[in-house]
Amino acid sequence: MAESTKTETPVYDFDGWSDEAEEKAIAAAVPDVKHIIVERRFIGRFVDGDIVEVPLSISLNDVDELQREHATPVDQFKSILRTVGGDDVATKFAGHDLVEAAIMSEKYFRTLQRVQSAAFPES
């Protein structure tokens, strides 16, 4: 006679959950996506070690096209990757976790904005 195995249902403490517990859980869930800048290039590293390299110099025409064709920073970043690295690079980027991809895209565009701001320091 075959033995049946019963899987145990995890016990979750919904009643004891607090805003503080949620903040800690969210902080622990944020992936450690890193980046550096080398010779006018943004170089990002995903949690799994995959690296993307993107120029920090894009034309106004490129920006116009990105904004016209893609609504979100993730799609815009993927388009830049496709342009500079080809379909394989963009596909590899798209295979990453949504949160990681969003963080990498946001870091790129913030870095691009900081470079632009550095060109015009406030007096």
Give the pair of three-digit tokens for residue 118: 């550095």
Is position 48 within any domain? yes
Query: What's the DSSP call for residue 2?
Result: P
The count of domains in the chain is 1
Residue 1 has pLDDT above 60, yes or no: no
Residue 18: inside a domain, yes or no? no
| Chain position carrying tokens 């870091």 | 107
Average pLDDT over residues 91-111: 90
What does the pLDDT read at residue 90?
Answer: 83
Structure confidence at residue 3 (pLDDT): 64
Residue 57 sits in which domain range?
A: 32-119
Kind and range of the H or E run holding 118: helix 98-119
Q: Positive or negative, the Cα torsion across 81, 94, 110, 28? A: negative
Q: Which pLDDT band holds residue 103 (cuts at 50, 70, 90)?
A: very high
Average pLDDT, the chain: 86
